[in-house]
Structure 1
Amino acid sequence: MFLALLLSAAAPQSCGYDRAVLMALDEDSFDQNPKGGWRSLSDRKCYAEAADLVRAYREAKRRKRPSILFWHEGQLRALLGQTDAAVALFDAAREPPANDEIGWNIYVDGSIAFLKHDRAGLQKARDTLAKLPRPKGRGSGRFKAKQITLPWPPNLDVLDGFLKCFTRSYAEAYGSKACSVPNRR
Structure 2
Amino acid sequence: MIIAALALAVLAAGDAATQCQYDRSAMLALDLSVFDQDINGGWRTLEAKGCAKEAADLIQAWRKAHGSMGPADTLLSWHEGQLRADVGQYADAIRLFQAGRHPAADDAKWGWNLYVDGSIAYLRGDRQKLEAARAKLSSLPRPAELKDAIGPDGRPRAVRWPMNIRVLDGFIRCWGQSYKAAYRCAVPTV
Which one of 66, 72, 87 corresponds to residue 94 of structure 2? 87
> Shift in Å at residue 145 of structure 1?
8.7
Alpha-carbon deviations, 1:59-102, whole Å to 9, x = none?
22222230000000000000010010000000010000122242
**Could you say which structure has the larger radius of gyration?**
2
As a proportion of its length, which structure holds more helix?
2
Relative to structure 1, the CA distance from residue 40 to residue 146 in structure 2 (aligned partners, 3 Å threshold; closer, same or farther) is: farther
Across the aligned residues of Structure 1 and Structure 2, the Cα RMSD in angstroms comes to: 2.4
Relative to structure 1, the CA distance from residue 93 to residue 73 in structure 2 (aligned partners, 3 Å threshold; closer, same or farther) is: same
Q: What residue number does 2:140 align with?
A: 132
Matched, 1:46 2:46: no
d(CA) in 1 for partners of 2:96 and 2:64? 13
Matched, 1:154 2:163: yes
> Shift in Å at residue 183 of structure 1?
5.5
> Shift in Å at residue 115 of structure 1?
0.2
> Shift in Å at residue 180 of structure 1?
2.7
Matched, 1:102 2:110: yes
> Shift in Å at residue 35 of structure 1?
1.4
Matched, 1:121 2:126: no
> Shift in Å at residue 136 of structure 1?
2.3
- What percentage of residue pairs aligned between the two structures are identical? 47
Q: Report if the CA contact (8 A) 1:144-1:150 is conserved.
A: no
Relative to structure 1, the CA distance from residue 146 to residue 174 in structure 2 (aligned partners, 3 Å threshold; closer, same or farther) is: farther
SS at match of 1:137: helix
Counterpart amino acid of residue 84 in structure 1: A
Q: Report if the CA contact (8 A) 1:151-1:183 is conserved.
A: no
Relative to structure 1, the CA distance from residue 64 to residue 139 in structure 2 (aligned partners, 3 Å threshold; closer, same or farther) is: same
Q: What residue number does 2:76 align with?
A: 69
Q: What residue number does 1:174 align with?
A: 183
Q: What residue number does 1:29 align with?
A: 34
> Shift in Å at residue 182 of structure 1?
3.3
As a proportion of its length, which structure holds more strand?
1
d(CA) in 1 for partners of 2:150 and 2:129? 28
d(CA) in 1 for partners of 2:66 and 2:188? 36
SS at match of 2:77: helix
Q: Which runs of 5+ in 1 are unaligned?
A: 1-6
Q: Which runs of 5+ in 2 are unaligned?
A: 1-10
Relative to structure 1, the CA distance from residue 45 to residue 112 in structure 2 (aligned partners, 3 Å threshold; closer, same or farther) is: same
d(CA) in 1 for partners of 2:99 and 2:124? 16
SS at match of 2:145: coil
Relative to structure 1, the CA distance from residue 102 to residue 160 in structure 2 (aligned partners, 3 Å threshold; closer, same or farther) is: same
Give the total of aligned pairs.
172
> Shift in Å at residue 134 of structure 1?
1.5
Relative to structure 1, the CA distance from residue 145 to residue 117 in structure 2 (aligned partners, 3 Å threshold; closer, same or farther) is: farther
